[in-house]
Every structure is written in structure tokens, then in C-alpha cells.
Amino acid sequence: MTLALALTPYVYGLGFFMMAAGLLIALTSRHLIKRLIGLGVFQTSAGVFYILLSKVSGGTAAIRLEADSPAARSLASRLDAAYIATHGVDGVVYSNPLPHVLILTAIVVGAATLAVGLSIIVRIRETYGTVDFEELAALEAKALRDGREDEA
Amino acid sequence: MTRLLAAPEAELVFAALLLTLLAGLVLALLAARSVLTCILLMSVFSLTMALWLMVMDAPDVAFTEASVGAGVSTMILLGAALSSTDVIPSVRPGRFWFPAVACLAAFIGMALALSDLPVFGDPGSPPSSYVGRLYLEHTPHDIGAPNVVTAVLASYRGFDTLGETSVILAAGVGVLLLLGGSLNSRDPVSEDVSLRISAGSPVLSVAARLLIPIICLYAFYVLAHGEFGAGGGFQAGVILAAALILHALVFGVRETMRALPVGVVRSCAALGVLGYASIGFIAILHGGRFLDYDALLSPVFEAGLPSSHLAGGHHHWGQRLGILGIETGVMLAVASTMTAIFYAFAGRVSRSDEAGAA
């Protein structure tokens, strides 16, 4: 347990670092596609946080084994009986399946929304001829200036 | 004590090491100066993530991450990035510092919450103690399927998954609205050079001919086996789409569109969601609630069927039928949407090439 205690700030810290780094890529990169990739990293890191919470030490995947089957017994031989009695279900310790369900669908939905973002980028490139954020900002500023001159 | 570490602890250490590797990949991504490098790093990131998820006892998520993140996402990213500039110019410092400070503040804010988080791997932590445990205990009795993830996804929270499938369909519709793409497959989608790996290579075409049927068969296995092992409709749909994309890469999008016309793909995407929702309504017609699979079969009919061994004499044929039905709907919707998105991007690429050549 002391080892798990020492690992706790490290693993959560890495998860938070990945989240912050993904956000940084999404906010600062000049290429729009890299911005979307950064957003993808941010999203995946949110999933990492969920999965970190779901892990149970000594647990196995949440696919129910039959009580006293050879697989269940071989898993049980690695842990002490008291631990299994407190935290196990029918003699086997499982990790929490609920975050898995949430993240599983989030990944597929994430890919679909990534496609929407990319198609917006494709349209931007076709309309303005660039996907560079700075150039697009310059184009926008120029369009605004021109519009103001027209009004005057 | 013959081993250096007890098995549960070794697991946690291995997970922490893989997480370090993931963070390193994100660092490399932060520094990457080329779009192609970024996309490949993202693909490697997804594969490593899948490995990490396996260590974290989440095979279903690992499966999805490997097929979506490393497979289909990478393909869509490559398709979109092909005709844009590859070099990423460096950021002006004036535009870098404010977001950097904001992200640092976000990191520090999250790190401050660290003391409130449960210990890594703690079996008695609040997230793992109540609802999650309840699902683990009740799934064999309520659903009769060993895979708790599939049971929660398809049955307990079936309404939620219907919403998520609709979001995927909506995203597909969004892409089609943005990129247009003609419904008629006979329309001039020119011979696409850019999205084919190598035109007419015999090695590739023979390998693809062998692989595509096996990949499709595997997709159906993943669909049907989702109740018992890792897998389900989402993964099966993405794998099926991967087979179609492989076909398009080796034989050209035009050939794929001839085999599977655009109109059919789009109809299937809508049909998948429709099929899912109609199973819910069939349950209502049989006197149950929306997506209540137990109402799908009459008790008299079900009593004549053999009972499943896991449930201790309980009958779960309605649940079986319902889960398989909605998973088929999910597979149809996901596979068709991904293929339609790929068609839209491929059509765009070939058209802009034509415009560039003219």
C-alpha cells in the first residue's frame, strides 16, 4: 500500500500534465490541424483521469468469471483471502466498470467530432487558402479594416 | 518472498511507467514542427494508450482506443492534412505566454485537488465502492451476460447509448453538410492519387484481398461476442469501417464507392439509429418500458428456451436479443458514419487536386 501511496501523486500529476499540455497545444499552435490534435490529447487525458479512478489494486477486467472456476481460482491465488473477502464479488476482485463505459463511448464520439472539426478546417483552407492561425487573423483584421473604410 | 514486488503492486508500477511514456509522447507532440509528425505521434499515443488501458483492466476501452484512435482517426487526419502545408511555423512569443500561464494555472489548480483524490488502486475508494460494485453484483442476475461493461452500456444505460449513437450520426451529417459530397457515386470523383498508398502494387492488392474478408468477419465476431468478452457494437463498427477504408486505400475510393454506393452508406447510418430506437418502441408495444429488453419476448415463449448457465436458472433471452439488436444498430451506424466521413474527405481531396491541376 505504501508503494500505491507514493505512486498516487505521480500518476494523477502525469494525467493533469497531459491535460494541460493538450490545452496548451490547442490554444497556441499556429496550424489549425495541430490545434485539433491538441484538443484530442486534452480529451484523451480526461479519459485517463476517469480510468485512473476506476483501477482497483489486484483487480481484473470487469468480465464476470464463474465462482470457483479455474480462472477465478488462479486470480485469487495472487491475493490474500481477507482482501478478496472485503473487496471481491463472488471471490474475484474486479476493477470498476462504470468509468470504462463512459470513456468507451466518449472515444467514438470524440472521433466523430474530430471529423467535424477537420471538415471545418478543410472549408477554411478552401476559402482562405491557408490554415495558419496568424495569417487567418491577419486576413480577418484586414477584412474588418476594409469594411470600416467602406462604411466611411 | 521470492518476487521483488507482489503482483498487484507490479501492475500499478507498470501502469505508472506506461503513463510516463504517454506524457513523453505529449511532450514530443508539443515540440513537433510538422503536421505529419503530429499525426503519427497521435497515432503512437493512441496505441500506447490502448496498452495502458489493458494494464488498467479496461480491455473494452483499449479495444476502442486502438481501433478508433490509432486507426480511423489517423486516417481522417491524414485525409484532411494531405493538401495543406506540412510545416508548422513557430508561435510568436507574444501569443504564447498568456495561454501558457493559463494552462499552468489550470495544472496547478488540478494539482491542488490531489489531496482529495483516492489512492491509486484503492479498492475502497468512493468511485469503486457504490454504484460500480452494484453493477458488478447485479449484472449476472439482471442481464445474464458476463461482460459488465457491455451490460451497462447496452442495457442498464441503453438510453444514454442511444443518445451517443445519435451524436455520431449528427456529427456525420455535420461533416456531409460542411463538405457537401454528392449523393451520386457516378459523379466525377476523379481517380484519386493522393489517398492511394501505391497504385496497382500486386503485393498490396493480394494482401488486401486476403485481409478485408477476415477483418469483416472479425468485426462480426466482436459484435456477437461483446456480451462475453471485450467488444461490442462501437468497436465492431469501427473495425468494419477500417476494412472499407483499407479497400479504398488499396483499390481507390472510386472502386469502393462502386462496391458500396454513397447513398447506401448514408441510409445505413440513419437505419442503424432507427433500428436501435425501434427496439425501444417494440419493448413499449409489448407492454414494457422504452428499451426494457425483458419485455421483448413473452414469458411463455421464453420458458421454452434453455436457461443460461450464469444466472442460476434465470431466463435472459429478451436481454440477449435486445443487446444484440441494439449493438447491431450501433455497429451499422458507426461503420456507415465513419465510411461516409471518409468518402466525404476523399472526395474533397480528389476534387481539390483536380482544381490544382487545372
Residues of A in contact with B20 (CB under 8 A): 14
User: For residues B223 and B84, which has the higher predicted lDDT (pLDDT)?
Assistant: B223
CA distances from B138 to B121, B143, B199 (A): 23, 8, 54
Helices then strands (H, E): number in chain B? 15, 0
CB-based contact A138:A130 (threshold 8 Å): no
CA distances from A71 to A74, A86, A100, B31 (A): 5, 20, 22, 45
Cβ-defined contact of A48 to B19 (cutoff 8 Å): yes
Pick out chain A residues at pLDDT < 50: none
Strand partners, A60: A94
Q: What's the mean per-residue pLDDT of chain B?
A: 85
With an 8 Å Cβ cutoff, is B107 touching chain A? yes
Provide the residue ranges of all domains of chain A, joining segments of one domain with +: 2-55+99-151, 63-95
Cβ-defined contact of A20 to B64 (cutoff 8 Å): no
Number of Cβ within a 10 Å radius of residue A56: 25
Single out the residue of B83, B197, B50, B352 nearest to residue A33, CA to CA.
B83
pLDDT band at residue B191, thresholds of 50, 70 and 90? very low
pLDDT digits (tens, 9 = 90+) for B239-285: 999 999 999 888 888 888 889 999 999 999 999 999 999 999 999 99
Per-residue model confidence (pLDDT) at position B6:
64
**DSSP labels, chain A:** -HHHHHHHHHHHHHHHHHHHHHHHHHHH-SBHHHHHHHHHHHHHHHHHHHHHHH--TT-B-SBPPPTT-HHHHHHHTTS-HHHHHHH-BTTB-B--SHHHHHHHHHHHHHHHHHHHHHHHHHHHHHHHS--BHHHHHHHHHHHHHHHHHHH-
pLDDT band at residue B309, thresholds of 50, 70 and 90? low
With an 8 Å Cβ cutoff, is B3 touching chain A? no
With an 8 Å Cβ cutoff, is A105 touching chain B? yes
Per-residue model confidence (pLDDT) at position B169:
95
The verdict on ipTM greater than 0.90 is yes
User: For residues B92 and A121, which has the higher predicted lDDT (pLDDT)?
Assistant: A121
Q: Is the pLDDT of residue B193 over 50?
A: no
Residues B186-199 have a mean pLDDT of: 51
pLDDT band at residue B333, thresholds of 50, 70 and 90? very high
Q: Is the pLDDT of residue B353 over 80?
A: no
pLDDT digits (tens, 9 = 90+) for A43-74: 999 999 999 999 998 888 999 988 888 888 88
Provide the residue ranges of all domains of chain B, joining segments of one domain with +: 1-85, 145-358
pLDDT digits (tens, 9 = 90+) for B120-150: 988 888 888 888 889 999 988 888 888 999 9
Q: Is domain A2-55+99-151 in CATH 1.10.287.3510, yes or no?
A: yes
Return the minimum-mean-pLDDT range out of A83-92, B6-15, B177-186, B235-244.
B177-186
Q: Is the pLDDT of residue B358 over 70?
A: no
